[in-house]
Chains A and B, each alone.
Chain A
Amino acid sequence: MMEYFLKVLRAEMRKQHKNRFFGKSIYVSLFLWPLLTFITAYYSYKPFPLDKIVRGLDYINESNLIIFVLMGYMCLIFFRCFVQSAWLFSSERTYGTLELIYMTPANRLAFIMGNAVASLFESIWLFVVFAAGIFILNASSFKINIGCAILGIILLLTLSILWGMLLNALFLFSRDSAFLFTVLEEPMEIFAGIKVPAVIFPLWAKVISAVFPLTYIAEMLRRIFIKGDGLLQIRGFVLISILTGLVMLTVTIICLRLGEEYARKTGNMALF
């Protein structure tokens, strides 16, 4: 059973990679695009007195600003890559390949997970290497709890994959995937506290930011890597991340089941 699950997962990862990465130049754009947005965000902070703007966060100052922004953008890339890939994934429905996949006994969860994992590793690795380099260059000024750092990275990976699976399931059965794309792309960057920390948001914006799992992950990793927080200090973020992950997985499974049932009942693969 597990072997079959992994077989489908690996096949889907390989297919998506071959289907989307057909030229080497795509790697350049994958690196340049997040790098430019990161530089833009960093230099937009520069002219302002940081300590007066960010009153709620004691750990941000002039010296660690670059790590603060870098950490935010690295987390954003983990989550944002899925919006684009899930949007492309919805073409499986329009090209008719989804019907053929549904004619096979392959595990549906493995299928969407394969797409999510492929998208994630294709999109992040170059920027992660860059971010790691910058971090190592500045590492002497930080005291990091290694155990918490590993836990944080595992949670980042797990939550982003679950987020990707959820988006894949939503986009796969959505009639208007372009609308979902618009709703999720820009707002996630703004409201998840990537550029501006979520703690200084007005209440209404804080409510929106609570919807995105990226909000908790970005804040937790910043606390681990910049402030040097231990497990005791980040336990709230860990708990909320696990809960969010479980909710996302449940919604994904329900969405997949409903989508397939609806398609079998009506012949229409667009659930909503």
Chain B
Amino acid sequence: MLIAENLGKTYETKDWSGFLRRKCTQVEAVKDVSLEMQKGQIIGLLGINGAGKTTTIKMLSTLLQPTKGRIDVDGLDGVKDAMKVKKRINMITGGERMIYWRLTARENLWYYGQLYGIENRLLEARIQKLLSMVGLSDKQDIPVERFSKGMKQRLQIARGLINNPGYIFMDEPTLGLDAAIARELREYVKDLARNDGKAILLTTHYIQEVEELCEYVYVMDKGAVIVQGTPKELALMGIENKVLCLELNENHELLHASLTDACMSIEKDCLILWDDKNKTYTITSRQDMSGIVTRVLLEQQAPFRNFYHQEPSLEDAIIKLSRRGA
């Protein structure tokens, strides 16, 4: 298990404030972040740009030294035993950097495998397995510069798995990919956690990805975790209003007045919208209107095809929570 406790990172920035004077400013990029990564689990680290996600990932991946707090990776200290920890972790980033374009896919994997000191026979078998897993077996001897964006990203995934890490940090792995390839990559990520038991920390700006993949989510803002929970719990946390949808079979002249009167009698400033094209009412209110709407429907005997509470959106919730702060 990977445990981070009260992680903090303060940077010192120096700016020239005069001809010879330099002004030092302390910037607290991450404050008191605690999180856990368990084998077979995908967790999300979300937040707007500048929230502190990348700094947190860099601390977890031994690239940055925390100014406070503790990182424990399977009983190893993330700072003191950094060299041992490096063997158990890896990072997969989005974009086309971090691989050598003039080398072939196989050569890229071989190079990184050598840096991890993997025995040659084992490395060769692993390279073939990974290339086959990401569907690049038949392209393994082609220089990466001839690869499409999606192929490069698949190679990034293979590279991130070359040392068979228990913990993988994925920093926007589907950045800039089209919908079909992004879906394909999400399937790889799911498999890695479910079938191979990897612990994955995912940062992304695509909320759909979080909803589909993550079992637990940490939302960061201004360097701190402001809220955490399952995607469903988070979505509910951000919701202040309930949204009820009523889809009718046909226009019903009397229903509009009765519905408006009944809802207004419970909550004066509730919002009732009528979509003539789809013949749908959307009722937004703080209180649950389903009871009163059911009563009106029965009274008016209005035929309807659907009547449901609109699911709260995680995206809306995260934006609201980030704006609201802790």
* Residue of B55, B98, B116, B143 touching A99 (CB-CB under 8 A): B98
A1-18 interface (Cβ within 8 A of B): 4, 7-8, 10-11, 14-15, 18
Give the distance in Å from the alpha carbon of A102 to the alpha carbon of B90 in the complex: 11
CB closest chain-A residue, reference B13: A266
A255-272 interface (Cβ within 8 A of B): 263-267
Give the distance in Å from the alpha carbon of A105 to the alpha carbon of B55 in the complex: 21
Given known A-B contacts A97-B98, A103-B89, A267-B64, A8 and B114 have beta carbons under 8 A apart: yes
Is A40 among interface residues, defined by CB-CB distance under 8 A?
Answer: no
Is B103 among interface residues, defined by CB-CB distance under 8 A?
Answer: yes
Is A204 among interface residues, defined by CB-CB distance under 8 A?
Answer: no
Is A19 among interface residues, defined by CB-CB distance under 8 A?
Answer: yes
Is B117 among interface residues, defined by CB-CB distance under 8 A?
Answer: yes
Chain A residues near B83: list those with CB within 8 A: 105
Q: B55 near A267 (CB under 8 angstroms)?
A: yes
Give the distance in Å from the alpha carbon of A199 to the alpha carbon of B252 in the complex: 106
Give the distance in Å from the alpha carbon of A22 to the alpha carbon of B89 in the complex: 32
Give the distance in Å from the alpha carbon of A95 to the alpha carbon of B145 in the complex: 14
| A 100-122 binary contact with B (CB < 8 Å = 1; else 0) | 11111110000100000000000
Is B100 among interface residues, defined by CB-CB distance under 8 A?
Answer: yes
Chain A residues near B100: list those with CB within 8 A: 15, 18-19, 97
B contacts with A: majority SS = mixed
Give the number of residues in B that approach A within 8 Å (Cβ atoms): 34
Given known A-B contacts A102-B63, A103-B63, A264-B65, A11 and B114 have beta carbons under 8 A apart: yes
A-B pairs with beta carbons under 8 A, tally: 80
Q: B111 near A106 (CB under 8 angstroms)?
A: no
* Residue of B91, B102, B143 touching A103 (CB-CB under 8 A): B91
* Residue of B98, B111, B117 touching A105 (CB-CB under 8 A): B117
Question: Which positions in B face A, CB cutoff 8 Å?
Answer: 11-12, 55, 58, 61-65, 83-84, 86-87, 89-91, 93, 97-100, 102-103, 107, 110-112, 114-117, 143, 159, 163
Question: Which positions in A face B, CB cutoff 8 Å?
Answer: 4, 7-8, 10-11, 14-15, 18-20, 22, 95-97, 99-106, 111, 263-267
Closest 7 CB pairs of A and B: A11-B114, A106-B115, A104-B115, A96-B97, A264-B65, A96-B98, A105-B83
Q: A103-B91, A104-B116, A105-B86 are in contact. List 9 more A-B contacts (CB 8 A).
A: A4-B117, A7-B117, A96-B97, A97-B98, A97-B99, A100-B159, A105-B84, A106-B117, A267-B63
